[in-house]
Structure formats: structure tokens, C-alpha cells
Chain A
Amino acid sequence: MYETHYHRASSIQDAVKLKQAAEEGKYLAGGMTLIPTMKQRLAAPTDLVDLRHVAEMRGIKVTGKTVRIGAATTHSEVASSAELAAVCPAICGLASHIGDPHVRHMGTIGGSIANNDPAADYPSAMLALDATIVTDRREIAAGDFFTGLFETALEDGELVTAITFEAPAKAAYQKFANPASRYAMAGVFVARRDNGDVRVAVTGAGSNGVFRHRDMEAALSSNWSPDALASVTVDASDLLSDIHADATYRANLVKVMAKRAVAAA
């Protein structure tokens, strides 16, 4: 790891100010991706602004079907929230399978979505739940937020402070994990609204990061059942290929995970 300077923020305002003052600063949430990346010397921020002690960024609030999750809320807090499980168990299930127990104790929802790793789980949930990403300065629709591999709509210094969404009628997430890293090799989040609208978001598989699968959404809108996906084709040409899974196999996994998610929802 290269030299860096550590700062502990006490509030959102403080965090933004600390970041602004830094030469090449980075926000540090759980650090579960950033610190390993820095250890490999693949990232070299001059300054780190620790968000773990910003109380206003933590916690889960459910009002009716409206959910607000503070950006510094850990995966384990999301996984074990009874309030959240009552309205959207799918997101609890997703969080309970991110990384491992130790990673879940530190890693946060805000850190995950701001990083937008193409194999991360949360971006698919945000997209399928039509969530809103709340920052220190504005609100961004999930559909506009994830812009590419490790790319988001966040401006320089902009801080994700919370996410909000309306709990769907039905939802589920199914992940096929990479046998080595255990990151998603294909993860599919399906959600159906009371009005019948369906969203299907795919992570781990797309060569440009998380994406919605419109054909699956259309098929499931007219028939919410795994069988409805039988005739849908997943185009392998837009999918990742690596030593663990080529695009053809990933295309198969996307479809299988989607079917299983619908069955589980």
C-alpha cells in the first residue's frame, strides 16, 4: 500500500469537506474492496475519509412500503433487519450472501453501489427495485446511476448517503458464485410491482456491468412464472468471458438464475 492519510468523518458535511480538501481523496466505507485494492497498489488515494462513524448515514427505516437504507449500513445489518425482511426479504437474502460473515460486518451498501463492481450483488437489486440513490447533493434514479464497469453517475466528491425504494409485491435474487472468488458470475434480481410491472436486473455477467433484461421483463409481465422465460433468449455477445465461464455458459446461467429467482419470489 502506498502512503495515505486517514481522516475520520463525523457527519456528511464533514466528510464532503474532508474529501474536498484532499488532493486525490477517496471515501472509505467498509473498505472491503478499497483496502485490498490499495494493498495491491492498484489504487493510491492520498487521503481516506472514513464514513463508518457518520451516524446519519447508518440505519434502516421502513415507512409503509417505503424503505430507506443509510449508505453506511453494513451488509450484515441489512441481512438481519426484521423490519426490512417484512417488506422486502429479497434484499435481506441478497445481503446475507455477499462475501463472507467478516466482509458483511464491515462492507456497506453505499460502498458497494458507489464502487459498481460488475460482479457485485447490490447494483442488480437497485436496478430491479427502481431504487433512488440519495447523495449529499441530489437524488439519482438507479437506472441513471450505473454507467459502466466501476463507473457511476457520481460527480467528483459526491457522496452516496442513502438509498430508497418502494418495496415490491414480489422479488428474489439468485446468484451463481464464481467458484474461486465467490463473487457473482451471474446474479439475477427479479421484482414485480403491485401494478404488474416487472424488472429483471443482471449482475456478474454483462461486459458493461449490471443491466436490465427487457425481454425477460416483457415475458414475466404477461406471465409471472419461471416457464414464461423458456422462450426468452439471452444474447451471449454482450456477456463476459473468463477462465471460469465463457459467455455462452454465462448466458445459460442468467436464464437459469432468472427462472430460479422467479420461482423463489
Chain B
Amino acid sequence: MAKITMTVNGRQVSGQCDDRTLLVHFIRENLGLTGTHVGCDTSQCGACVVHMDGMSVKSCSTLAAQAAGSEITTIEGLAANGELHPVQAAFKANHGLQCGFCTPGMVMTAVDMIRRHGGQLDEATVRAELEGNICRCTGYHNIVKAILAAAVEMGGARVAAE
């Protein structure tokens, strides 16, 4: 057991956990932020994606101890002042989610993707960038559409999905 301190969604938090505790379990169990999900054991589905120091990472393949001292943003930290983040709003407007389980990881991935690519985003790039996120409900069609729409909203993508 060790005491871990990090900043989560702008607030400094501490918690006791085993060194073997994964970041996702620290977030879910210690902090009660259950929006970050676990969908696989082999680091492939991306339901657990959060941002660590501004970059998307898989919280199921990161120890809480590794994240000590870092700034973490989870899905719960994205909407500001009750307003959906443009990516969240685009997912809703474009029906980019069905069961909602992969959605937090998808949204966090999309925010990171738009941060890195900005105006360079097109459909092929979005599909390639989603390699680490699996959705079983949507066939990705509306997720891709939502991300492209959000990229336009946030500052310009060149090609729309349809």
C-alpha cells in the first residue's frame, strides 16, 4: 500500500492503493469516477482511455503509481460549466453512440486526435486513428462522422464523412 497523489479533472486527489493497482481501478474504485471503463484484458479496446499530462493513454495498462504526480483528465472532466465539450455534442448530434460503453474512451480519443491533427483530419485518418478503440454497436459510421464534425466545429477539417 502506498499513498498516491495526482491531479484528476483539475482537482488534487490522494488515495491508498497497492503498487499493482491499475490507474483505471484507482479512478473507478478510489475516486468513484466510473465513466472510465474496462472492456478487455489485452490493451486493445480503448474503453479505458484517459488523458495523462495532455495525452491519451490506456488506463488499464498504466499503474496508478506511474501516474502519481501527473495531471489526469477523465470523461467526467470534459464538460465545462454544464456544457458538453464540442466532441461530446458532436457525438450526440450525429448518434455516435448506442450502448455507451465504449463512448468515454471514444470521446477521449477523439479529443486527443483533434488536438494532434487539427485541420488535417479526414475520414481515412480518423479511421486509422481509431485503431485502439473498439465499438461493437455503431459500425463506427456515426463515430467517424461525429469526430469529423467536431473537428470542423473546433477549427476545421477538410473533408466531411458524407
Interface residues in B86-114 (C-beta closer than 8 Å to A)? 109, 112-113
Task: Annotate A87-128 by CB proximity to B: 1 below 8 A, 0 otherwise.
Answer: 000000000000111110110000000000000000000000
Which single member of A76, A105, A182 contacts B131 (CB below 8 Å)?
A182
Contact status B61-A6, CB under 8 Å: no
**Given the complex of chains A and B, what is the CA–CA distance between A106 and B55 in angstroms?**
9
B43 proximity list for chain A (CB < 8 A) = 32, 35-36, 103
Instruction: Check A6–B65 contact: CB distance below 8 A.
Output: yes
Residues B20 and A3 in contact, CB atoms below 8 Å apart: yes
Cβ 8 A contact of A101, one of B2, B44, B65, B129: B129
Q: Which of B2, B52, B57 has the most CB of A within 10 A?
A: B57
B131 engages A100 (CB within 8 Å): yes
CA distance A23 to B62 in the complex (A): 22
Closest to A100 in B: B132
Cβ–Cβ < 8 Å partners of B56 in chain A: 101-102, 105
Interface string of A1-12 (1 = CB under 8 A from B): 111111010000
Contact across chains for A4 and B131 when beta carbons are under 8 A apart: no
| Contact partner, B57, options A5, A50, A105, Cβ 8 Å | A105
Contact digits for A24-52, partner B, Cβ 8 Å, 1 yes 0 no = 00001001100110111000000010101
What's the least CB distance linking B104 to chain A, in Å? 13
B interface, size bucket:
20 to 34
Q: Do the beta carbons of A35 and B65 come within 8 Å of each other?
A: no
Report whether B63 and A6 are in contact in the complex, using a CB–CB cutoff of 8 Å: yes
Instruction: Tell me the smallest distance from the CB of A177 to a CB of chain B, in Å.
Output: 9
Cβ B109 vs Cβ A31 within 8 A: no
Q: Is B18 an interface residue (CB 8 A)?
A: yes
Knowing A50-B66, A105-B55, say if A2 contacts B41 (CB, 8 Å): no
User: How distant is the Cα of A105 from the Cα of B116 in the complex, in angstroms?
Assistant: 12
Partner of A6, one of B2, B57, B58, B132: B2
The minimal Cβ–Cβ distance linking A244 to chain B, given in whole angstroms, is: 15
Smallest CB separation, A128 vs chain B (Å):
24
B17-39 contacts to A, CB under 8 A, are 18-20, 22
Are B113 and A35 in contact, with the CB atoms below 8 A? no
Asked if A35 contacts B63 (CB within 8 A), the reply is yes
Neighbouring B residues of A106 by C-beta, 8 Å: 57-58, 61-62
B20/A40 in contact, CB under 8 A: no
Chain B contacts for A103, CB-based, 8 A: 43, 58, 132
Query: Shortest beta-carbon distance, A36 to chain B, in Å?
Result: 5
Query: Are A1 and B20 in contact, CB atoms less than 8 angstroms apart?
Result: yes
* Contact status B132-A36, CB under 8 Å: no
A102–B49 CB distance below 8 A: yes
Q: How far does the alpha carbon of A1 sit from the alpha carbon of B17 in the complex, in Å?
A: 14
Q: Does the CB pair B20–A2 fall under 8 Å? A: yes
A40 to B61, CA, bound (A): 11
Interface contact B131-A31, CB-CB below 8 Å? no
Q: Which residues of A contact B109 (CB under 8 A)?
A: 101-102
CA A181 to CA B44, docked complex, whole Å: 8
Distance between B47 CB and nearest chain A CB, rounded to angstroms: 11
CB distance from B6 to the nearest CB of A (A): 13
Alpha-carbon gap, A105 to B57, bound state (A): 7
Across the interface, do A101 and B61 meet the contact criterion of CB distance under 8 Å? no
Distance in Å from the Cβ of A242 to the closest Cβ of chain B?
16
Q: Mark B61-76, 1 if CB is under 8 A from A, else 0.
A: 1110110100000000
Interface string of A213-252 (1 = CB under 8 A from B): 0000000000000000000000000000000000000000
Residues of B that sit less than 8 Å from A by CB = 2, 18-20, 22, 41-44, 46, 49, 52, 55-58, 60-63, 65-66, 68, 109, 112-113, 116, 129, 131-133
Q: Could you list 5 examples of A-B contacts with CB < 8 Å?
A: A8-B65, A31-B66, A39-B60, A102-B109, A105-B52
